[in-house]
Amino acid sequence: MCGINGIVGINDKSIAKQKIIAMNDRMRHRGPDDEGIFVSGKIAFGHRRLSIIDISAAGHQPMQSPDGRYQIVYNGEIYNFKELKFELQRVVSGSDQQSFPFQTNTDTEVVIAAYARWGADCVNHFNGMFAFAIWDDQHKELFIARDRLGIKPLYYCFTNGVFAFSSEVRSLLASDLIPKKLDEDSLIDYLRYQTVHAPDTIVKGVKMLMPGHIIEMKKEQLKIKKYWGLTSNISKASEGKSYTEVCKDVNQLLTKSVERRLIADVPFGAFLSGGIDSSAIVGMMSKVSTEKVKTFSVTFDESEFSEAKYAQFIAKKFNTDHHEIKLKPSDFIEQLPHALKAMDHPSGDGPNTFVVSKATKEAGITMALSGLGGDELFAGYNVFKRSLELNKKAWLNLMPTFLRGAGASILLKAKPSVASEKIAELLKQNKINFNSFYPITRQVLMDQQILKIVNRAILPVNEVSQIISEIGLNDKPTNKQPLTTTSIAEISTYMQNVLLRDTDQMSMAHALEVRVPFLDPVLVEYVLGIPDNYKSTASPKKLLVDALGDLLPPEIVNRPKMGFTFPWKNWMKNELKSFCEQKIVSLSKRIFFNEQGVIGLWKAFLNDDPRVTWARIWILVVLENWMQENGIEG
C-alpha cells in the first residue's frame, strides 16, 4: 500500500520534479518507509511506500523493468501475484513469449511483467486492490488502471495539455496545476449524499477514475475504457444448485479470499465490532492462520452505543489477542481535529475508522482485515427489506399523483421526521419504482432542505438516479431480483463512494493497509448470481450465516444490529457544540450558501427538530473544515 503521483506534459524537467516532490510531500503519511521520483522527458512519477510484501529495498518505486522500457508506480496488493509470477516465468512452447527476468519478490514487478506480456489485458488477470500507472518509454505511452470494485483511489486532472494523477486530491492540489475551486454541482451531490460520486469530486476539474476502468494516453490523447462492471460480470455458476451447495460454494470462496489476504511480510490484525461480518472474518482468519489473530474494537462509556460485549465474546471464542479502544467524549474531541485533517475528500463518515486505525497501528500492526462489503453482498441493510416491500406497494401507482401528494402533506404534518420526509418524497414521484425509491433511501439532506441553504433556484440531476439509469437497474424488473438489484445499487453508490473512500483515507492517515475479503471479485460475481430466493431477509444475512455453518454462535447471529458509529448527537450538542457552531457560521457566509438558511438548519438541530438529525449538520461542519484546511474557494 502506497501513494502514487504522476505528471505528463511538462517540458521543463526541473519544474516537473519540483511539482512531483510537492505532491509526494503532501501524502507522506501514505508511505513512511520510502520515497522515489522518476523524471524523464515529459514524464514524471512520484511514490511514497508502505512496505507490505518484500519489505527490502528491492521494492523501491518508481520501479523500472530490467530492459529499461517500463516505469511503474503502484498502490495496492495483487493477491494472486505468486501464481501470475509462475505463469510469467514459464516459456510457452511454440510461441514468441519470453520468460520475464524477475529480480525481486514484489507484486509490483509482477504487474510490470504482466503488462509487458498482455498489455492492457493484464488487468483481467489480477485479483486484488490496486491503482497503478505504467510508462512505456519505447512507445511514449501511459497506462493507468484501477481495481474492479474501487478499493484503491485514483484522481486525475487534465488541463492546458498537462495530465496529472494521484492517490489523493490534496496531492493534485499541491501541484498547483489545478485551481482550488469548489464544483457547484458536486456540492449539491455532497449535500444530498455526504459524498461526491465518481467520476466527479468536490474540486472543479479534478476527476476520479471509475472502478474497473483504465486510462490510455497516446500522443497526448486521453482514452478512458471500462474493463469490468458489476452487471456484466455476474456469475451463473450457482444456477441449478441447491441451497446447501450454494452455501458450500460461498464458504469456500470466502475462505479462499481470507487466505489470499493474509499474504504479507508484516504483522496483521482485524477490525472487530462483534457484528456478523467482522466476526465472520475473524473466525475465518483464526481457522486458516498459523498465528494468533490480533483484533481491535472501539468501545464507549455510553453503553447504548457500545458493542464491547459482542466483540469480547468473539475474541474469547477464537482466542484472539484483543485490544479495546475505550473512548470518552474528551478522547474523541482530542482526536477529532486530527481525523478531520486526515480527510482527503470531505465525507460525512470516517472519524470512526481514523480512531480504530490509529490504535491498530500503534499496536504494531501494518495490515488489517475488515468486514466491509458483507452488508452489501448479503442484504444486511434495512434498505433490502424496504426493496422487497416496495413490490407489494405497486398499487400506489394506480392512485392519481395529486392524491398521493395530498397524503404526503398529511403525513408530514401528522408525524414530522426524516422517515416521513422520505416517504412523502416517494409518494410525490410520478412513478413509484426502484429508480424513484432507491435515490431517496440514502439521501441525507432532502432537496427542499438544500434549496433553503444554497443560493440557487434549480438543483442539478440526482447523481444516484443517474448511476442507476446508466447501469440499467431501472430497466430490470425489481419484482424478480430486488435483493440483487439493491446489492448492485449499494455497491455502486454508498459503498464505493463513501465506505471505501473513507476507509482508504482514514487508514492511510496512519500508514495502515486495510484489506476487504468480502470484496474479492470472484466472490462478488458469484454472490450476485445467486437467486433472490436464497437471500432471505427473514433473519440477519441468512445466506452468509448458513454458509458459515457453526462458525458463528447464536449470540452474534441474533444480536441487534447497531452499526459502527459514535454518539454524535450527544457530543454535537455538548462537547462539540462550540466547534460545530464556528464552522456552521463560517460556511453560511460563503458565496454558494444562504446564510439565513444554514443558520436556521443549525438552530433546528439544537431545538431537537426531528427533521434535522446530527448527520444533516455534520456534513456542513466537515465541508467547511475541509475547505479551510485546503484553501478552497466557494
* Sheet strands (E) in 227-310: 268-271, 294-300
Domain range annotation of the chain: 2-226, 243-379+495-557, 567-634
* CATH domain 243-379+495-557 topology: Rossmann fold (3.40.50)
CB 197 within 8 A of CB 497: yes
Q: How confident is the model at residue 362 (pLDDT cuts 50, 70, 90)?
A: confident
Q: How confident is the model at residue 419 (pLDDT cuts 50, 70, 90)?
A: confident
The torsion of the CA quartet 146, 149, 152, 154, rounded to 10 degrees, works out to 40
Which of 37-46, 93-102, 388-397, 407-416 is predicted with the least confidence, judged by mean pLDDT?
A: 93-102
2 in catalytic set: yes
Sign of CA dihedral 80, 83, 89, 92: negative
CB 622 within 8 A of CB 344: no
Q: How confident is the model at residue 94 (pLDDT cuts 50, 70, 90)?
A: very low
CB 543 within 8 A of CB 247: yes
CA distance 579 to 217: 45
Sign of CA dihedral 64, 65, 71, 72: negative
CB 4 within 8 A of CB 170: no
CB 428 within 8 A of CB 405: yes
CA distance 81 to 92: 19
Cell readout for 559 is 444480536
| pLDDT average, residue stretch 247-262 | 96
CA distance 335 to 526: 40
Residue % of the chain over a pLDDT of 90? 63
Pairing verdict, β 162-166 and 43-49 = unpaired
Determine the residue type at 104.
T
Q: How confident is the model at residue 58 (pLDDT cuts 50, 70, 90)?
A: low
Per CATH, 2-226 and 243-379+495-557 having the same topology is answered no
Question: What confidence score (pLDDT) does residue 303 get?
Answer: 55
Burial 454-490 (b: 16+ CB within 10 A, else e): beeeebeebbbeebbeebebbebebeebbbbbbbbbb
Average pLDDT, the chain: 89
Which of 9-13, 227-231, 545-549, 565-569 is predicted with the least confidence, judged by mean pLDDT?
A: 565-569
What pTM does this model have?
0.93
| pLDDT average, residue stretch 141-152 | 97
CA distance 54 to 32: 15
Q: Is the pLDDT of residue 565 over 60?
A: no
The residue ranking higher by pLDDT, 277 or 365, is 277
- Per DSSP, the three-state class of 535 is coil
Specify the CATH number of the domain 2-226.
3.60.20.10
CB 340 within 8 A of CB 505: no
CB 465 within 8 A of CB 493: no
290 Cβ partners below 8 Å, 6+ apart? Answer: none
Q: How confident is the model at residue 305 (pLDDT cuts 50, 70, 90)?
A: low
Per-residue pLDDT reduced to its tens digit, 346-360 = 998 878 788 878 888
Per-residue pLDDT reduced to its tens digit, 168-227 = 999 999 999 999 999 999 999 999 999 999 999 999 999 999 999 999 999 889 999 999
- Which letter does DSSP use for residue 91 in this model? P
Q: How confident is the model at residue 269 (pLDDT cuts 50, 70, 90)?
A: confident
The residue ranking higher by pLDDT, 379 or 306, is 379
**Shortest CA distance to 502 belongs to which of 305, 631, 282, 355?**
355
Catalytic residue among 2, 122, 247, 580: 2
Q: Is the pLDDT of residue 143 over 90?
A: yes
